[in-house]
Chains A and B, each alone.
Chain A
Amino acid sequence: MNELQVVLSVLAALVALVLVWHIVRDEQVTNVGFFGLVALQVGLVVQLVWGVVRVADNHDGVSVAAYLAYLIGALLILPVAFLWSASEKSRSGTAVLLVGVLVLPVLFLRLHDLWSAHV
């Protein structure tokens, strides 16, 4: 994975730990968790721009449609998780956010795999 994706994966792991902490203690997500999610989302927007610039250049062998689909999919997941969890003020609402955060590194790996077909 590239540096941006490594940084975002580490950040995702940290935010996941904060969310697990809240789930275990059965308390609402605080500002730390919320701004962690915002930071992740900003990073994902940067990734989208960076990814689009990359596929606009030489991309022989890379499936552009799949690559863009993963970039955009990664951008949608946290906002959807946030909206879906908003009306669930319980551990389960926080767990929805946790699932969303944990899916991100999987998407980074898939993006990495897709790009590794580059010749």
Chain B
Amino acid sequence: MSEKAGRAATSRGFGRVIVFVYGILAFAASGRATFELTTKFSDAPFPYSLSILAAVIYVVATWALATGRRRIALATVSFELLGVLAVGLSSLLATDKFPEASVWSDFGAGYGWVPLVLPMVGLWWLYRTRRVG
């Protein structure tokens, strides 16, 4: 019963927009990761591995939000926020480790800061749609 209600909550209303933006980012990140993996992975394994990790996280988050799997959504969205903050900070401090940009480098500036803003909106939405008790 609660699962059913949860299904309705995260992908309805404003959640429709959030899931769509997540889907676009998941598609973009997957495309980028596939491209990097198949053409130039050995050039910079570390940031390109991060790209793959980010892509997987975005795909799972999109699916979880679209189907109302709140716990998985919370875990992946939180991970994104930590990821974009950690990678953003370290790409500023340790530029030698990031010869090539990843999705999360410079706090997602290459994607119009969407990778930074979206997890915050996602967490707010999960909180907004929570069921009390």
Which residues of A does B touch, CB under 8 Å? 63, 65-66, 69, 73, 77, 80-81, 84-85, 88, 90, 92-93, 95-96, 99-100, 103, 106
Tell whether, in the assembled complex, residue B17 and residue A66 are in contact, meaning their CB atoms are under 8 Å apart: no
Which B residues form the contact surface with A (CB < 8 A)? 12-17, 19-21, 23-24, 27-28, 31, 35, 39, 112
Q: Is the interface of B mostly helix, strand, loop or mixed?
A: helix
A77–B28 CA distance with the chains assembled, in angstroms: 11
Given the interface pairs A65-B35, A84-B19, A99-B21, the reply to whether A90 lies near B13 with Cβ below 8 Å is yes
24 contacts between A and B (CB under 8 A): A63-B35, A65-B35, A66-B35, A69-B31, A69-B35, A73-B27, A73-B28, A73-B31, A84-B16, A84-B20, A85-B16, A85-B20, A88-B13, A88-B16, A92-B15, A92-B17, A95-B14, A96-B16, A96-B17, A96-B20, A99-B17, A99-B20, A99-B24, A103-B24
Give the CA-CA distance A115 to B54 in the complex, in Å: 27
Nearest-Cβ distance from residue B20 to partner chain A, whole angstroms: 5
